Chains A and B, each alone.
Chain A
Amino acid sequence: MESLTQLREKLPAFEKLHVRLGCIVQGTASEAAEVCGQYGMAEKCIPDPDKESYAKLGLDRTTLGAMVLASDELKARRKENRAAGFSVSIKKSFMPHCDIFLLPGAALVERGGRILWLHRGAHPGDLPSAEELLDCVRRNLKDSPRA
């Protein structure tokens, strides 16, 4: 859960920009509290055991082949995460409500609900880093009258 760790480190920066953060996870409320709590992010995690919001956003599923035969970008992201001290937990990956093939995504939403920026993951490692997300927020809110 390197994303949660990175996002937690950037929380003060997001708060300074008056942006609320929500991290949707594939699990029940109790699972989210347990796992996200380990990263100090229990209050930011939103449980979606049925993956309903993933479907509504149109997030795709990857294939076993794409995971095994990783792209150069995915390999680089994995290497970066290992270097930062993160490792994949097989046990957590296969928790009851987790779909390991479901791809990640992110959206910046302005006050009132209009999407300002959207990213749908194209492969398993395709989620911008917290720093990239922060830059994205800065860029997009600068031009939004409803920010």
Chain B
Amino acid sequence: MSVAATSKDYPGVGDAAPEFVYKDGAGNERRLSELWREGPALIVWLRHFG
């Protein structure tokens, strides 16, 4: 189930997780890295809303 990076262009195990800036419901700019700033985080990329 665990995989190494499939390409040098993308992060793999041991690399820095990708940063991503988004806007929350209040319109505030947030960073994905806030999740792992103080402890571990599990990030799940879901397929779609269906």
How many residues belonging to B are interface residues under a CB distance threshold of 8 Å? 43
Instruction: Given A20-B36, A115-B14, answer yes or no on A14-B42 (Cβ-Cβ < 8 Å).
Output: yes
Bitwise, B25-50 to A at CB < 8 A (1) or not (0) is 10100101101111111111111111
Q: Which chain A residues numbered 11 to 47 have a C-beta less than 8 Å away from chain B? A: 14, 17-27, 29-33, 35, 42, 46-47
Kindly list chain A residues whose C-beta atoms are within 8 Å of the C-beta of B23. Answer: 29, 47
Instruction: Flag if A133 contacts B50 (CB, 8 Å).
Output: no
Kindly list chain B residues whose C-beta atoms are within 8 Å of the C-beta of A114. Answer: 14-17
Chain B CB within 8 A of A70 CB? no
Kindly list chain A residues whose C-beta atoms are within 8 Å of the C-beta of B33. Answer: 113
Kindly list chain A residues whose C-beta atoms are within 8 Å of the C-beta of B9. Answer: 58
Instruction: Given A46-B32, A58-B11, A137-B42, answer yes or no on A99-B3 (Cβ-Cβ < 8 Å).
Output: no
Nearest CB to that of A118 among chain B residues? B13
Bitwise, A58-92 to B at CB < 8 A (1) or not (0) is 11000000000000000000000000000011111
Instruction: Flag if A53 contacts B32 (CB, 8 Å).
Output: yes
B interface: dominant SS = loop
Nearest CB to that of A45 among chain B residues? B46
Q: Which chain A residues numbered 104 to 147 have a C-beta less than 8 Å away from chain B? A: 104-121, 124, 127-128, 132-133, 136-137, 141, 144, 146-147
Instruction: Given A29-B23, A48-B20, answer yes or no on A128-B49 (Cβ-Cβ < 8 Å).
Output: no
Binding site for A on B (CB under 8 A): 1-7, 9-20, 22-25, 27, 30, 32-33, 35-50
Given contacts A93-B50, A118-B11, 17 further A-B contacts (CB under 8 A): A18-B39, A30-B25, A52-B20, A56-B18, A58-B5, A58-B9, A92-B48, A98-B50, A100-B47, A107-B42, A113-B33, A113-B36, A115-B12, A118-B5, A118-B12, A120-B6, A132-B1
